[in-house]
Amino acid sequence: MSYSMDLRERVINWVRSGKSRLSASQVFEVHYQTVKAWLKNYKDTGEYAAKPRECSKPGKVNLDVLRQELSASPDSFQSELACRFGVSQSTISRTLAKLGITHKKKLPVTSKPQKNNNKRLLMLPWR
């Protein structure tokens, strides 16, 4: 959850005015560690704003290469694909889900169940 800039500013100014971090966390209902992190960020950068988040790393699996691999051998198991790409099976599973590719195995066809001959059972005498 992201806190408002106004709240960050009020908490930092509260502590800078000589009051304790613990009292700031209680008054503004923010966890003590959050107050501590905001103060550290303010001392380091001089700004109230949060540090910008780093961009996430690019995926290990090239989506185009995976699509080509699947079109060449559509019956490949996820474990086989994981070995080919040098990643875990869960990585392949997430990547396939990201691509919207699902593979549902067909259930084996069973013969139709035979009807029970209840008439014969009704004719048997009860003992």
Model confidence over 43-92: pLDDT tens digits? 999 998 887 777 666 678 888 899 898 889 888 888 889 888 889 999 99
Phi, psi for 86 (deg, rounded to 5): 70, 35
Which residues contact residue 9 at a Cβ distance below 8 angstroms, ignoring those fewer than 6 apart? 48
Instruction: Write out pLDDT tens, residues 94-121.
Output: 899 888 887 666 666 666 666 665 666 5
29: confidence class by pLDDT, cuts 50, 70, 90: very high
Q: How many CA atoms lie within 13 A of 116 on its CB side?
A: 3
Distance CA 40, CA 12 (A): 10
Distance CA 4, CA 1 (A): 10
